[in-house]
Amino acid sequence: MFNNKSILITGGTGSFGNEFVSSLIKNYKKIKKLIIFSRDELKQQEMSKKFSEEKYKFLRYFLGDIRDKNRLMSALNGVDFVVHAAALKQVPKAEYNPFEYIKTNILGAQNLIEGCIEKKITKVIALSTDKAAAPINLYGATKLCSDKLFIAANNIIGSSGTKFSVVRYGNVLGSRGSLIDVLKKNKNSNFFQITDYEMSRFNITLKESVNHVLWSFKNSPGGDILVPKLKSYMVIDLIKSFNPKLKLKKIGIRPGEKIYEEMVTKSDSLNTIELKNYYVILPNTFSDNKILKTRSYYKSKFNAKNVKRGFSYNSANNKDFLSLKELKKFFK
């Protein structure tokens, strides 16, 4: 799919970006150009040591910010596919720096959408988060707005033919700032702070997150939110699997934090269908004809079925949980 094509990834120097670039290098030998667009020159320098432009002639490190539309437009020249991974995402920080999150997560998304339509990009996949489902914090609210923008963009593509889709998943285990990362950095400590003993999360690895995005590129018709079926884990179990002797101190949930991750809400159930490995939230901003067309596509190609009215998908009501034995594997 990506051979002889040009791909741009915004926020490309993050954990997802590194894994995405690694996957494309491994699986596609004839990439025309792979542009890593990010605003952090230090991360670009560090990433270039791992993936050098000298070794991989198709790689381009492009310094820029999605807030800067002119710079973004320059980066989009000649691009066929875009992965949108750029975002401000620390939940507590958003509560105290709301305008900055709006500028990046919402206005930055608008810049990218307008740029992709103007440049006639073939397909755009935007990364979302569980925080965008029934948001209770500002970060989640900005990502919900971003999701809505990307889905609604399919209504204004005109003659460009650009398709926009969203992939939504939870926290990535092992990524920078994840709980595993924090535990490893505090491996010599005798106690650990936990916000709530009932807290649960979905489990997804970096490799899996990349595979879901690649699946969406190949299969999503545009205007849909793809939600992968994942296993859940209790946060307290993850901590115990790392060190069962750690003394825990409950400190209460942080500003804007949820007890469980939610990816499909009850309100979404009327527009959600189920595939073997995914739930798909269909667009509720399209005409009835477009919704029926998208629904029919998934039903005919993947035998999709409607979920029950009032259905929700969250890490607490999930039927599939990781055991302590399974969780221990993440620390090896």
Q: Which CATH number covers residue 287?
A: 3.40.50.720
- Bridge partners (DSSP) of residue 52 are none
**Averaged pLDDT score across all residues of the chain:** 93
DSSP codes, 256-292: T--SS-EEE-GGGGGGEEE-SSEEEEPPSSS-HHHHH
Q: Phi and psi dihedrals of 154, rounded to 5?
A: -65, -15
Mean pLDDT of 244-268: 90
**101 three-state secondary structure:** helix
Residue 302 belongs to a domain: yes
Q: Say whether pLDDT at 98 is over 80.
A: yes
Residue 330 belongs to a domain: no
Which two three-digit tokens encode residue 297? Answer: 């596509």
Which two three-digit tokens encode residue 4? Answer: 């002889």
Look at phi and psi of residue 310 and say left if phi exceeds 0, alpha if psi is from -120 to 50, else beta: left
Residue 213 belongs to a domain: yes
Distance (Å, whole) CA 42 – CA 196: 35
Question: pTM for this structure?
Answer: 0.93
Domain that holds residue 269: 87-171+205-229+264-311
Distance (Å, whole) CA 123 – CA 231: 29
Residue 6 belongs to a domain: no
As annotated, the active-site residues are 131
pLDDT of residue 103: 98
Residue 178 belongs to a domain: no
pLDDT of residue 179: 83
Instruction: Write the pLDDT tens digit of every residue in 155-184.
Output: 999 889 999 999 999 888 766 667 887 888
Residue 119 belongs to a domain: yes
Question: For 330, which DSSP code?
Answer: G
pLDDT of residue 19: 96
CB-neighbour burial class of residue 297 (10 A; exposed 0-12, middle 13-18, buried 19+): middle
Which two three-digit tokens encode residue 287? Answer: 């005409």
As for how many domains the chain has, the answer is 1
Q: Phi and psi dihedrals of 249, rounded to 5?
A: -125, 115
Residue 294 belongs to a domain: yes
Residue 322 belongs to a domain: no
Q: Which of 88-92, 171-175, 223-227, 246-250 has the highest mean pLDDT?
A: 223-227
